[in-house]
Amino acid sequence: MTYTLNDWFGSGVMANKTGVLLNDEMDDFTSKIGVPNMYGLVQGEANAIGPGRRPLSSMSPTIVTKDGKTVMVVGTPGGSRILTATLLTMLNVIDYGMNIQEAVDAPRFHQQWLPESTNLERFTLSPDTQKILEGWGQKFSGPQPFNNVAAILVGAPSLGGKPVGKNRFYGANDPRRNSGLALGY
């Protein structure tokens, strides 16, 4: 199950007697064309508020399977940055052979077209690579408050790896959040 609030504590309203905070997903609609929302996402007429419409959302809890069996589960908060963080974590495990914690810890970048700048965490690109890309007109800026990925790899800490002890699920918690802990069992 996944649940989105959007901003910190959503709308700031709790449903009576439930303890469930209500979201503020109206920010995901375009309220003013060309004006960025809280995540800096600039949207157009296609996402305007209207009856019967649903707002653009990047919510994407992901379950990766192979031969019908669950291999990996990845999720993160973070508005427009959700897709980037989720994809980069999966690529780090599947294509680059990282274990699940290394994949979550790895530096990230994010580009969402507007604003026309790529957000970089430290050590995402080598200085030489960044300089070449800047020479081609690419603009870079420092990191935004990045996502806080939580991920689980099933069977071993890395794809093709061997189980450690009797553990079957290997969890990874993002150090960017500076809270919580992931344990395998």
Output the known binding site for L-glutamate.
4-6, 28, 57-58, 79
From the centroid of its chain, how far is CA 108?
Answer: 10
Nearest to 159 by CA among 61, 86, 64: 64
d(CA 152, CA 172): 6
Q: 139 near 160, Cβ under 8 Å?
A: no
| Cβ burial, residue 89 (10 Å; 0-12/13-18/19+) | buried
Which residues belong to the annotated binding site? 4-6, 28, 57-58, 79
